[in-house]
Structure 1
Amino acid sequence: MNPTADNETAFVSELTAHQTMLGAFLRSLLPSQADVESLLQEVNVTLWNKREQFEVGSNFKAWSFKIAKFHALNERRKIQRNQWLVFDEDIIHKIAAAANSLSQSRLHEKQRALDHCLHKLNAKHRDLIQARYQQGESLQQYAQTHKQNPATLRSILRNVRIKLKNCIQLQLNQG
């Protein structure tokens, strides 16, 4: 095998190993799941196009997160032009730094804890969480679809988030 093929194989391996972390990182910076999925694809294309700039053995996570952060900042500017509520640029940099410091194993621990706690919820609460955070559905949309009061749903969602947070903390402390 030639050195270029070896480098490309190593690059693909790194890119694949960091997909979950890149997605979580972008999710922490953007308002909707649809934005995250679309932007993750753009980040992957940019990473692929810049793959020759990556040095095998260097910190792929730091390099890829830096590129993802610039994509998120550009996306933030687009969203801001459309009058969405967005984080201040300084907050984006702070979130990026904090997310970059998370280890992959810690992220997997948190994901396992979240999955465990989601399965403990009743079906209605799990459906609400999934609609709101995985599908990006607004509470207003969910309320109309399920013929419920938005204020009641907001209260339920707040209580379910508290329940999830406490469950996740308990899982992480036990593990």
Structure 2
Amino acid sequence: MEDANQHDPATLEKLPEGEFMRLFIKHEPALRAFARSILPDWQLVDDTLQEASVTMWEKLGQLHDQAGFLPWAKVIVRFKCLSAVDKLRRDRHVLSQQVLELIADEAETMDADEIVAIRSALAVCLTQFTPPHRELLLAPYAGDGRVKQIADRGSKSVNALYKLLGRLRQRLASCIRGQLEPEMS
């Protein structure tokens, strides 16, 4: 017979540290991808995820069962990300709160297997590009000014590289969709 107090948050015991760490490490790639869907750069993702992990540990008593860890953790990561974006807003232009909420809602529906499949498809598709094209595809994620540095090294203008980047991204997206279609069938 089930104990009536079993789901009362006041009677729940905190998961052991090892179990919390196991769950966090298992779901970290999904949480990192979720945070990146909201935040503009990887450094901010790292900082925010670290802050969120501390909050998760502090609020672990709110977790009703281990199976609910990922949705529960995503809520905490979401609030930490939105807080980080609010701080950024004071310094520069960022997407509106409403747009960020829509992006977060969409990203929240993705499960860990889906993220792994997309990453795998991305890795396969990137191998189909020449090294210079691969470098250009990854340049916007490597930091500010990377595309300009590539333009300075070569014979094309920054504008021409961005146009090429747009075409390369279309090819990459098409390849990824092609890689994922057999899995979705």
* TM-score range relative to shorter protein: 0.7 to 0.9
1:136 to 140, 143, 150: 143
* Corresponding residue pairs, total: 171
2:84 to 57, 75, 90: 75
Higher Rg = 2
Matches within 5 A, 1:19-168: 19-84=28-93, 86-133=94-141, 135-138=142-145, 139-144=147-152, 148-168=156-176
TM-score, structure 1 normalization: 0.86
Q: Return 5+ residue gaps in structure 2 as ranges.
A: 1-11
Counterpart amino acid of 1:136?
A: G
* 1:120 partner SS: coil
Which stretch of structure 1 is more off in the superposition, 89-98 or 109-118? Answer: 89-98
Question: Do the aligned partners of 2:27 and 2:70 also contact (CA within 8 Å) in 1?
Answer: yes
Q: Return 5+ residue gaps in structure 1 as ranges.
A: none
Greater helix share, structure number: 1
**CA RMSD, aligned part only?**
2.2
Displacement, 1:40?
A: 1.9
Distance between the aligned counterparts of 1:170 and 1:77, measured in 2? Answer: 37
Question: Do the aligned partners of 2:14 and 2:61 also contact (CA within 8 Å) in 1?
Answer: no
Distance between the aligned counterparts of 1:72 and 1:66, measured in 2? Answer: 10
Percent of matched pairs sharing the same residue:
29
- Cα distance change on mapping 1:31 and 1:4 into 2, 3 Å: same
Distance between the aligned counterparts of 2:132 and 2:16, measured in 1? Answer: 48
TM-score, structure 2 normalization: 0.82
1:1-20 CA distances to partner (integer Å, 9 max, x unpaired)? xx979633322111111111
Distance between the aligned counterparts of 1:141 and 1:62, measured in 2? Answer: 40
Higher relative contact order (CA 8 A, sep 6+): 1
Distance between the aligned counterparts of 1:51 and 1:146, measured in 2? Answer: 52
Displacement, 1:81?
A: 0.5
Question: Do the aligned partners of 1:29 and 1:92 also contact (CA within 8 Å) in 2?
Answer: yes
